């Protein structure tokens, strides 16, 4: 395995150069980015990709639930104001340059051989690829759960970092744009398990990058206050409870970590009690 890994670095660099050419070449003149060191090219690519993903996913989702399906999913008096959404956008845009450092540093460390990542599925085979990815996702779930929980339990972390996100604590203040409205360090800490996992388990690096950016879509989804009622998925119904009680539903994609560690609160049970 170590012998085969010795040739991975060049493949990672080739992939990075390809992604940079695709994204930067589409939005900037070649002269504006070609002379930059690869690290800064990669950061710029991640920044452009992050901003585009944030606005495209947020705008499309807001249009769908607040205008096209007006009063179907969200009652009129629960639709967040434009002012609230603009504030969320402002917080997210101030943090975005810092968010993009994490995948950039991860990519640099991967190119220089510090992580266990592999560049091609054929390096390990499909079965190992799937098994490694499943283990990676379990580690990420566990890590994000505890990182998020400690951001609540450790008072200085909550006061100086996570409270920035929890000013959105009612249905009419939560929107898809709140998904990335964090203090920069808070957002980086919550995404850190993705990067730390690269040092623990072999994972296809392109899959890792894709999952990092899928986070942007997922966080928009779980802040829309619409309970999708898909069992075991930590959707918006669960996350809205988190924003109102502060002590439940710290999990990420699934309910399993909250179930195991005693912090799960089911939105359907809450609805039953209300009736």
Say what the pLDDT of residue 70 is: 82
Please name the residues in contact with 87: beta carbons below 8 A apart, sequence gap of 6 or more: 181
* Mean per-residue pLDDT, 202-210: 96
Residue 1 inside a domain? The answer is: no
Name the H helices within the chain.
Answer: 2-5, 8-27, 30-33, 38-62, 82-99, 101-111, 126-153, 155-160, 184-197, 205-221, 236-245, 256-261, 267-274
Number of domains composing the chain? 1
Residue 2 inside a domain? The answer is: no
* Mean per-residue pLDDT, 223-230: 82
Say what the pLDDT of residue 168 is: 85
Closest CA to 9 of 205, 200, 196, 201: 205
Residue 243 inside a domain? The answer is: yes
Q: Which of 6-10, 102-106, 167-171, 214-218 is most confident?
A: 102-106
Closest CA to 255 of 264, 267, 247: 264
pTM of the full predicted structure? 0.92
* Mean per-residue pLDDT, 125-151: 97
Alpha-carbon span 147 to 274, nearest angstrom: 31
* Mean per-residue pLDDT, 251-258: 95
Confidence of residue 216 (pLDDT cuts 50, 70, 90): confident
Please name the residues in contact with 148: beta carbons below 8 A apart, sequence gap of 6 or more: 190, 250, 251, 252
Q: Do 110 and 206 contact (CB within 8 A), yes or no? A: no
Residue 132 inside a domain? The answer is: yes
CA 21 to chain centre: 24
* Mean per-residue pLDDT, 56-77: 88
Helices and strands (H and E) in the chain: how many:
13, 0
Residue 54 inside a domain? The answer is: yes
Say what the pLDDT of residue 252 is: 92
Alpha-carbon span 79 to 174, nearest angstrom: 8
Q: What is the share, in percent, of the chain residues with pLDDT greater than 90? A: 76
Ramachandran category for residue 64: left, alpha or beta (phi over 0 → left; psi -120 to 50 → alpha): alpha
The tokens for 42 are 């990669």
Which of the pair, 114 or 71, is modelled with greater confidence? 114
Alpha-carbon span 132 to 120, nearest angstrom: 13
Residue 138 inside a domain? The answer is: yes
**What's the mean per-residue pLDDT of the chain?**
92
Please name the residues in contact with 85: beta carbons below 8 A apart, sequence gap of 6 or more: 62, 175, 177
Say what the pLDDT of residue 3 is: 44
Residue 252 inside a domain? The answer is: yes
Lowest mean pLDDT among 165-174, 204-213, 238-247: 165-174
**Structural domain boundaries enclosing 216:** 7-272
């Amino acid at each position: 395995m170590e012998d085969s890994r010795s040739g991975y670095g060049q493949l990672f660099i080739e992939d990075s150069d390809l992604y940079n050419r695709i994204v930067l070449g589409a939005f900037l003149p070649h002269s504006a980015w070609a002379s930059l060191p690869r690290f800064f090219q990669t950061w710029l690519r991640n920044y452009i990709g992050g901003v585009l993903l944030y606005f495209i996913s947020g705008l499309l989702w807001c249009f769908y639930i607040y205008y096209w399906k007006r009063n179907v999913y969200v009652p009129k008096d629960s639709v967040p104001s434009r002012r609230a959404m603009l504030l969320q956008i402002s917080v997210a845009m101030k943090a975005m340059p810092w968010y993009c450092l994490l995948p950039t540093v991860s990519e640099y460390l991967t190119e220089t051989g510090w992580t266990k990542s592999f560049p091609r599925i054929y390096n390990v085979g499909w079965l190992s690829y799937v098994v490694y990815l499943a283990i990676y996702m379990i580690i990420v779930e566990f890590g994000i759960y505890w990182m998020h929980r400690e951001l609540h339990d450790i008072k200085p972390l909550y006061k100086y970092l996570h409270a920035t996100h929890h000013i959105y604590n009612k249905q009419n203040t939560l929107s898809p744009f709140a998904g990335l409205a964090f203090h920069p360090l808070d957002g980086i800490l919550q995404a850190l398990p993705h990067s730390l996992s690269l040092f623990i388990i072999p994972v296809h690096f392109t899959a890792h990058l894709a999952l990092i950016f899928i986070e942007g879509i997922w966080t928009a989804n779980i802040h829309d206050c619409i309970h999708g009622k898909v069992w075991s998925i930590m959707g918006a119904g669960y996350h809205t409870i988190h924003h109102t009680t502060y002590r439940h539903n710290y999990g990420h994609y699934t309910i399993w970590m909250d179930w195991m560690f005693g912090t799960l609160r089911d939105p359907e049970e809450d609805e039953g009690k209300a009736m």
